[in-house]
Amino acid sequence: MGKLNNKVAVITGGGSGIGLAIAQRFVEEGARVVISGRSESVLNDAVALMGSQATAVCADVSSADDIERLYQQVGQLHGRIDIVVANAGVIHPAPFESVTLEQFDSQFDINVRGLFLTTQKALPLLNDGGSIVLVSSIAHFKAIDGHCVYAAAKAAVRSFARSWAHDLKHRGIRVNCLSPGPVKTPIIGKMGIAPENLEAFENSVAAMIPLGRLGRPEELAAAALFLASSESSFVTGIDLCADGGLGQI
């Protein structure tokens, strides 16, 4: 028997990387999963990997209309939600003095506004006693070159977890934050690093991590499973760092 048997989970940014790994693990544990993302082809490929327990809805989390449409479809398919994983995110590394308004707005629109809408608009369908997992980053408490805007956005995510754990306690809904360290996912290739420099970049990052390597998406999925399942039934408002020790030592 899986840890999420008969549960309905919505996972944003579920087409690749950490989101896809979470979705795959949740399906393995018996959940029916609805993933969202901005690329229909990426979502279709993800659903093909997971089979009939998974459904995809193309949606931009920063669009209130898209989020409304996402939950309309979830309601029609399943009539309820037990788990929300607000995972969709974007990063545009740049030195403070070089950050453009477009880079600033994109990171706050998706990482903050999008996460807010994802969670707020889920509440009418979310069962009492449900679980919300907000994906932040260790950047919210650790200064990293070129990450000042991203870090501020992820600090808002950490703050939301505290506030919402308080705001939703009367419904028994647990809200927790999951903060990854560096993880080997496709997002690294979208940070503007030249392909020929990617391996050297990953090696330099790995050298800073106490465990000596980047994380794997499936390791973050295991942490998300803990927060989403009854294994963490007495846990709410926390920040669970899965970072190889980078932010801890």
Whether 71 is catalytic: no
Within a 13 Å sphere around the CA of 138, how many CA atoms are in the beta-carbon half? 19
Q: Which of 71, 108, 116, 150 is catalytic?
A: 150
Nearest to 132 by CA among 224, 20, 37, 17: 224
Report the half-sphere exposure of 169 (CA within 13 A, side-chain side): 10
CA–CA gap between residue 226 and residue 11 (Å, rounded): 15
129: helix, strand or coil: strand
Cα(155)–Cα(148) distance, rounded to whole angstroms?
10
Annotated catalytic residues are 150
